[in-house]
């Protein structure tokens, strides 16, 4: 009720059926749930990945590089970590990740099935 949507519609959103949901509805839900900025951003990110239209067409290639802020990997010294794209290509690894996945990082070609 606080978000101005029906219980049935909200249940649909909770189940991940976010196709066609507007930014106005997402804002209303975020306000009703009293989400902070990070939680609100996460909600919108979930909506984008759950099928909302995006500006990038599916035929465009995935980025081949990792954003500069991803140097966070280097700060993660206690666990192996890696960054993959939607095609599961490895884009970046930290030192322990390289030690664990070195064969995959050096030779990323997948064997024929």
Q: What three-state secondary structure class fits 17?
A: coil
Q: Report the distance separating Cα 3 and Cα 42, nearest Å.
A: 18
**52-72: per-residue pLDDT in tens?**
444 444 444 555 665 665 678
Estimate the share of the chain in helix, then strand, then coil, as percent rounded to the nearest 5.
Answer: 45, 5, 50
Confidence at 23, pLDDT banded by 50, 70, 90: confident
Q: Alpha-carbon distance 17 to 46, whole Å?
A: 11
pTM: 0.43
Residue 69's SS3 state is helix
Residue 93: exposure state from Cβ atoms within 10 A (0-12, 13-18, ≥19): buried
% residues pLDDT > 70 (the chain)? 76
Q: How far is CA 45 from CA 38, 39, 40, 79, 98, in A?
A: 10, 10, 9, 26, 29
At residue 113, the pLDDT reads 55
The CA-to-CA distance between both ends of the chain, in Å, stands at 52
Residue 94 · residue 73 · CB < 8 Å: yes
Q: What is the pLDDT of residue 57?
A: 43
């Amino acid at each position: 009720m606080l978000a101005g949507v029906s219980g049935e519609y909200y249940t649909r959103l909770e189940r991940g059926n976010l196709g066609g949901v507007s930014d106005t509805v997402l804002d209303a839900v975020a306000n009703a749930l009293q989400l902070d900025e990070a939680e609100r951003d996460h909600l919108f990110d979930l909506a984008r990945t759950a099928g909302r239209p995006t500006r990038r067409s599916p035929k465009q290639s995935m980025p081949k590089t990792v954003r500069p802020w991803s140097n966070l990997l280097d700060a993660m010294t206690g666990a192996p970590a890696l960054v993959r794209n939607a095609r599961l290509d490895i884009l970046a690894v930290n030192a322990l990740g390289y030690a664990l996945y070195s064969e995959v990082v050096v030779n990323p070609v997948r064997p024929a099935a």
